[in-house]
């Protein structure tokens, strides 16, 4: 399998691991990127954009990265916090007064970031049309009660996370989160990542390929089931691409994910300017919860907008100041502030394994082995 792109000699084993994944058929089309000290040392892509394997994955191919988008949403919050336009410990009602009903007046911004707000789902069933209706999605959340004491535990806010945080950003900046991200993060970094995809980019999109076989049986440790609402096929639609769904509908590739997130791993410094202070970058590690997630049914340690290194974490990392998250189907981004390294993996072939996907784990393991050389 021919792999394209660039890879430093130090990380040649990552190239081999990536090639093996494509050669074996575990991946159809994919990309992997590593930034070290803010500079790209791995930028590889290969395979095909379609399940029939007729169209090659190109340098500028992008795809839906699902919940890896949440790391971009979190970065928007950190940028505003760094500018003193948003206080992570302030009540949400400071920015969104209508939110303070039904026992939610004490919910803080940090609870939204750490999935501890008690609003992991809507109280009524939602569909694709509803998810694409910003006013409806946010108004319903503002009216309902939390399902547990905010701050007491995490319960993964699968879709609500982006609407809750996105509405706070909209109230502060008077612009949608997709526009804020594009203007204040993607543009300065020249990063090809989009929350709300313009029609001019449609020809570059590789549609998500549904996972093989039936979904696994329900996890018995899930205390609060939430709706999934969207299939892989739904994300093929123009409706999904145009909508701003900042918890799940981001489009990019490994290069663009790593380019954006490397800002965090490099202490806030970009190639041309400082986007965040080092102190703000370290805010990510303010632990919000650590235990069995009520929605995921797995142990997770959440900080500010990211999961953190922990002995019981689904993703293994050697260094203390490491944060990460991934997307449905297998995409993953890891920021290691101790090693000043970011690694991102983005693909089109989905699996049912999520954060335990062996494809991303192999690349991550290989990257750390190369780093130790």
pLDDT in tens, 327-369: 999 999 999 999 999 999 999 999 999 999 999 999 999 999 9
Percent of all residues in the chain with a pLDDT value above 70, rounded to a whole number: 100
Q: Domain limits at 205? A: 3-371
CA-based nearest residue to 332, from 309, 294, 304, 361: 361
What integer pLDDT is reported at residue 138 of this predicted model?
Answer: 98
pTM over 0.95: yes
State residue 16's pLDDT score.
98
Specify the residue for token string 């302030």. Answer: 90
Taking 3-state DSSP, the helix, strand and coil percentages for the chain, each rounded to the nearest 5, stand at: 35, 20, 45
Angle between helices 134-143 and 160-173 (to 10 degrees): 100
Alpha-carbon dihedral angle through residues 128, 350, 154, 298, given to the nearest 10 degrees: 140
Distances (CA, A) of 81 to 65, 86, 110, 212: 25, 5, 11, 42
The predicted structure's pLDDT at residue 49: 98
The count of structural domains within the chain is 1
Q: What is the pLDDT of residues 23-71, one digit of tens each?
A: 999 999 999 999 999 999 999 999 999 999 999 999 999 999 999 999 9
Residue with tokens 């109280």: 123
- pLDDT tens string 202-224: 999 999 999 999 999 999 999 99
CATH number for the domain spanning 302: value is 3.40.710.10
End-to-end CA distance of the chain: 26
**Residues whose CB falls within 8 Å of the CB of residue 134, separated by 6 or more in sequence, listed in order:** 163, 166, 176, 244
């Amino acid at each position: 399998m021919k792999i394209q792109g660039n890879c430093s000699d130090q990380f040649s084993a990552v190239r081999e691991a990536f090639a093996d994944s494509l050669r074996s058929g575990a991946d159809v089309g994919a990309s992997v990127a590593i930034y070290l000290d803010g500079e790209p040392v791995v930028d590889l892509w290969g395979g095909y954009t379609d399940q029939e394997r007729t169209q090659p994955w190109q340098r500028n191919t992008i795809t839906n990265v699902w919940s890896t988008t949440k790391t971009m949403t979190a970065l928007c919050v950190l940028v505003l916090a760094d500018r003193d336009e948003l206080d992570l410990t302030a009540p949400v009602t400071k920015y969104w007064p209508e939110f303070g009903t039904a026992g939610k007046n004490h919910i803080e911004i940090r609870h939204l970031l750490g999935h501890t707000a008690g609003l992991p789902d809507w109280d009524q069933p939602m569909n694709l049309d509803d998810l694409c209706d910003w006013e409806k999605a946010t108004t319903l959340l503002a009216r309902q009660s939390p399902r547990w004491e905010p701050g007491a535990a995490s319960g993964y806010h699968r879709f609500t996370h982006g609407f809750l945080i996105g509405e706070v950003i909209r109230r502060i900046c008077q612009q949608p989160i997709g526009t804020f991200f594009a203007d204040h993060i993607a543009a300065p970094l020249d990063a090809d990542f989009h929350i709300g995809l313009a029609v001019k980019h449609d020809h570059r999109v590789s549609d998500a390929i549904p996972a093989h076989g039936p979904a696994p049986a329900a996890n018995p440790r899930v205390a609060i089931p939430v709706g999934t609402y969207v299939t892989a096929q739904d994300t093929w639609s123009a409706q999904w691409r145009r909508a701003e769904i900042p918890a799940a509908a981001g489009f990019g590739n490994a290069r663009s994910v790593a380019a954006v997130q490397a800002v965090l791993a490099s202490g806030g410094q970009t190639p041309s300017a400082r986007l965040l202070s080092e102190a703000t970058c370290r805010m990510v590690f303010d632990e919000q919860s650590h235990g069995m997630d009520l929605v995921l049914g797995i142990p997770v340690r959440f900080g500010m907008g990211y999961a953190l290194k922990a002995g019981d974490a689904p993703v293994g990392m050697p260094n203390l100041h490491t944060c990460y998250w991934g997307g449905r189907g297998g995409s993953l981004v890891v920021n290691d502030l101790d090693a000043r390294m970011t690694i991102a993996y983005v693909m089109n072939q989905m699996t049912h394994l999520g954060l335990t996907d062996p494809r991303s784990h192999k690349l991550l393991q290989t990257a750390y082995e190369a780093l130790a050389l």
